[in-house]
Structure 1
Amino acid sequence: MDPFSKKLLKELEQMQQHTGRILRTMSLPRMMSTEGGGWQPAVDIYEAEDSIYVHAELAGVVAESLKVTVDGQCVNISGLRQLPDHQTIACIHQLEIELGAFQRTLTLPAAVEVDGVESSYVNGMLMVTLPKRVRKGKVTIRITPGE
């Protein structure tokens, strides 16, 4: 195989490897700009019988800047990612890491008990555990006569 064909084949293989990453990051909410113009972290939502689990990829975000707000069937995650100040930078060769403030609001697949929510932030992953709201048995609804 000639050198040009080898190089072309190698570049096609690299493109194929990167295609999976590109498709994973192309969710509609992440592509749409937010009011503050911030970036959107990748988020996974899992549902179990009694809980909902939200995992957010937040590498480089300082834990003190994170804020998680839960309201019924929505969870809002916000924070700030900044890189350390590099006084000696003369030239940037590649710039892919999104910086600055972010906010991500997610609609959960079920209502949750706000009082039982727990979260942890380990190795750049925010994990939020949201217990599902338990229905309280049978309720009888009184019907009032109309006019």
Structure 2
Amino acid sequence: MSIIKYDPFKEMERLFDDWDDVTPLNFWPAVKRHWAPAIDVYEKDNNIVVELQIPKSEADKVNISVEDGVLRIEGGSEQEEEKEGKNYYRKEIRRGHFSRAISLPAGIKETEVKATHEDGVLKIVVPKAEVKEPKKIDVEVK
């Protein structure tokens, strides 16, 4: 039997989404939920790779930093002003500021991080440092 990490906030988010489906439109107009773009983190070719869905128009507004083994990604778009005469049936496009912090494993090259944007995906590559093999010490027997 495998152990699955329980995230109560994920359950609350699902509850709100279900509630949105059965409540009248604009029932919760003042509620602003935290959002962040979808993210993938994986290892490939001795690198830690982080990918986020970011529109091309917002890619140059993203700030990326690495400090003490934590990758921080901040950015976002301008919040759209409510326009009169616009009655939404469903409003799922999230706008506004976001911030993500990802703990990286020990042994990375913080000064060699690179970021590129292509086809709506921001790709951050964090090289891993070379793993030093332990030095074998022979015991001299007298």
TM-score range, shorter chain: 0.5 to 0.7
Moved more, 67-76 or 86-95: 86-95
Moved over 3 A (4+): 27-33, 82-89, 135-139
Greater per-residue helix proportion: 1
- What is residue 92 of structure 1 aligned with on the other side? 88
Residue deviations 1:35-66 (CA, integer Å, cap 9, x gap): xx641221111112411110011236612320
Counterpart amino acid of residue 77 in structure 2: R
Deviation at 1:124, TM superposition (A): 2.0
**C-alpha distance in structure 2 between counterparts of 1:39 and 1:73, whole Å:** 23
Deviation at 1:85, TM superposition (A): 6.3
- What is residue 131 of structure 1 aligned with on the other side? 127
Q: Is the 8 A contact 1:72 1:112 kept in 2?
A: no
Moved more, 41-50 or 58-67: 58-67
Q: Is the 8 A contact 1:81 1:101 kept in 2?
A: yes
Q: TM-score, normalised by structure 1?
A: 0.59
- What is residue 80 of structure 1 aligned with on the other side? 76
- What is residue 53 of structure 1 aligned with on the other side? 49
**C-alpha distance in structure 2 between counterparts of 1:124 and 1:48, whole Å:** 20
Q: 1:42 aligns with which of 30, 38, 41?
A: 38
Is 1:113 aligned to residue 109 of structure 2? yes
**C-alpha distance in structure 1 between counterparts of 2:112 and 2:69, whole Å:** 14
Deviation at 1:71, TM superposition (A): 1.9
**C-alpha distance in structure 1 between counterparts of 2:66 and 2:59, whole Å:** 18
Q: Which runs of 5+ in 2 are unaligned?
A: 1-5, 14-32, 136-142
RMSD: 3.3
Q: Secondary structure at the match of 2:111?
A: helix
Residue deviations 1:120-145 (CA, integer Å, cap 9, x gap): 11232110011002245657xxxxxx
**C-alpha distance in structure 1 between counterparts of 2:124 and 2:9, whole Å:** 20
Q: Which runs of 5+ in 1 are unaligned?
A: 1-26, 140-147
**C-alpha distance in structure 1 between counterparts of 2:125 and 2:84, whole Å:** 42
Distance 1:29 1:107, change over 3 A: farther
Is 1:101 aligned to residue 128 of structure 2? no
Moved more, 130-139 or 66-75: 130-139
Deviation at 1:88, TM superposition (A): 6.8
Q: Is the 8 A contact 1:121 1:127 kept in 2?
A: yes
Over the matched positions of the two proteins, sequence identity in percent amounts to 25
Q: How many residues align?
A: 111
